[in-house]
Structure formats: C-alpha cells, structure tokens
Structure 1
C-alpha cells in the first residue's frame, strides 16, 4: 500500500479536485481509498452527489488519531489518498507522518506558495525520523499568468521537485466536481489526458 497526501493549508489550492481526479485514475487499475480530513467534508459530500465515487471508497478522518490509523485500517488497499484540510492542524502533521508521498498543490498565486511553507516545515521536521518524498503540483494553471514564472522560481528554491504535468484551469474540472463525477465522466479529452500523465508521474515516484 502507498499513502499519498495532498497538503496545503491554503483553501482553494485545488487539493480536492486533484484528489478526486487522480484517485479516479488510479482506481482504473488498483484499489483506492480516499480519506477526507477537511472539516467541511467537501470530498465526502461530493461522493454522495454522483456515481463516480463508486470507483474508490471514501472515509472521513475527524482527528489525527484517525489519520495515524490509516495504514492499519486501510492496509488492504493499493493506494490511500489523503485530502488535506484547508487549514494547518495536527492532522497535517499526522498525514505527513503516514505518507509515502506528499503532494503540495499550488496555484499561480503568492498566497498559495506562502501557505505551502507550513507543509515544508512539517516535512523538514519529519525528515529527522523518516524522510518523506514530496513534490509540488501546479493547479489552475493559466499559460499567460505572470505569476507562473515567479511560482516556478520560488519552488526551485525550496529544493522540492515540481511535477512536469500541471492541472490547467478548465471549466470541466469545476463542472464535474459540482456534478459529483470526475473528468473521466466528461468529454474533455485534454483534462483526462493531463490527469493520466500526472498519475503516471505520481506512480513513477515509487519506482
């Protein structure tokens, strides 16, 4: 089993959208559990809206104790994907500690990147016990965004690698989440393609 956490205490960084679509892609060839740690339960509510959630199982973690137990309680799955809370909490630290890979979603915004510093601090503290692999993921990408170049420079200075694949700003992501499905239940081939390539990149980090 591999545990993958999407963490950034800044709300609106694209965590849940990325989790839904990457988990859906992983579930096409593996057993997947998704753990919703956000008090707002956005992902849990999404799973009750449409039919796509049948491709993976959704669990809710209300405390750090729930997160610490995922390896024991969900050990039968190939992948456990943790959707981080939209605020910094002890759950964030717990998620880092149980993870094999931490993905830090950031939009081309100085606010998102600044908030990611809290996750980096937790990763650095955890490195003294068990180093955890980590990657940045750019979400809601706009090619013409001036902040994109600034963001990439800032990421490079952290020493944490950036996934080659980004998640673009597409209406299909917004609409599919609203409808309770993933982009794989839409006609947006470009969105499906970028999620497939991103998921392959994620899997390759374990090889």
Structure 2
C-alpha cells in the first residue's frame, strides 16, 4: 500500500498516525518505508530512538521527492510506503496524492481542523480530475475525548453534511501516542490489545479493506 498522511494544519496527529501505522505494519513482518517530508523531521528523529525491524525512515527534501519515490517503488524493497507530507500546501502534495492508494486526512473535532481538511479534499478531487484516477481518501478524527461531547457531535454532523468519508475508527487522546516519541515504542507494542494499540490495529484493517476491496472488507468485519 502507498499511504499518504496529509494535513495543511499542524497539531492534528499526522506524523503520529503515520509512525504508529508504519510501525505496526513492520511489526507484522512487512517491509515498510516512511518518507518524511515534514519540515520538522519528527519521524526521522523518532526513528533514532529505537530500531524496528523492517521499518526504514528517510528524511527527504521536498524537491527530491519525485525521484526518491520512483526509485524506492521500483526497487521492490518495500511492501508499503507511508508518506508524511509537509504541513503546508505545495507541489509535493499533488505529486504524493497522485501516487497514493489511500490518503489519510487527520483532523481534530473542531471547526478550523475540519475546514482545513476540506481544503485537502478539494486538492484530492483536483488531482483525481487531472489524472483520471479516483484517489481513495478518508478523514480520521484524532485526539478525541473518550466521552461524546457537543464538539464531536458537531464534527460528525459537519462531515455528514459535506458528504465526506470517514474512518469508523477514531483515535482517542491517549498518553501512548505522546510517549511513542519519548521511548521509540509504537502503541501496538506498549498497548498491543487495548487502547491506542487496538485503535491502530482497527485502523489498519479499515485501510486494507479500502485499498484491497470487498474481500478484505469481509475479513475486517
């Protein structure tokens, strides 16, 4: 799978989600490449805190993305490529979207986050029109409070009103996501069958169902 994590707004959990998903795939035995295009190099720093077998993290300058991606994909060295985009709208965004099997758009349950998510959705639709290929995408609600609130009710209502596809799985505000960047351990290691680990496992099942079609959807339940 080629998974792109996109948001034009910081603080929504884009890099966190990318790291957690990529690490979980590698721990399953897959060969996974993270292309870290974010200007903060969050994932490149994270990768130095601990080695996860099968996971490679490469910090790449945005202007070199196209060539690096083509070489990486053509090498056959990876089962999955996860792209952590910069938190800004620039030409690399469109290059990555065009190559994606699935675009993940993290957003908190707030009006500013949902507005920015709509901007990314507009970009995806533009790239789809230009390339003639439908690019699957889903919004991912992140940093959700465990109990339903008016804010989350607003978010779900806005998503429905705009007809935006949404992952069934949402990521709750949990310490395991923050601690991952301190200890280098992803949630599927620290909380393998509960909490954040269970959320990432469920999220990956949804991703596979979207990318691989109805047969995988039946497996995902």
TM-score, normalising length from structure 1? 0.91
1:167 aligned to 155, 161, 171, which one? 171
Q: Partners in 1 of 2:200 and 2:68 — Cα distance?
A: 29
Deviation for aligned residue 1:205 = 0.8
1:89-114 Cα offsets, whole Å, 9 max, x none, are: 22211211111111110111212111
How high is the TM-score relative to the length of structure 2?
0.86
Q: Which residue of 2 aligns with 1:200?
A: 205
Instruction: Note closer, same or farther for the CA distance 1:67–1:119 as it changes in structure 2 (3 Å cut).
Output: farther
Higher RCO (C-alpha under 8 Å, 6+ residues apart): 1
Q: Mind listing any 5+ residue stretches in structure 1 that lack a counterpart? A: none
Q: In the TM superposition, what is the alpha-carbon distance from 1:34 to its structure 2 partner?
A: 0.7
- Residues of 2 paired with 1:133 and 1:109: CA distance? 23
> Are 2:161 and 1:157 aligned?
yes
SS of the residue 1:206 aligns to: helix
Higher gyration radius (CA) = 2
RMSD, aligned CA: 1.7
Give the C-alpha shift of residue 56 in structure 1.
0.8
Please give the alpha-carbon distance, in whole angstroms, between the structure 1 residues aligned to 2:139 and 2:191. Answer: 27
Residue of structure 2 in register with 1:3 after alignment: 2
Comparing 83-92 with 60-69, greater Cα deviation is found at 60-69
Alignment partner, residue 46 of structure 1: 46
Question: After the TM superposition, which segments of 4 or more aligned residues of structure 1 sit over 6 Å from their partners?
Answer: none
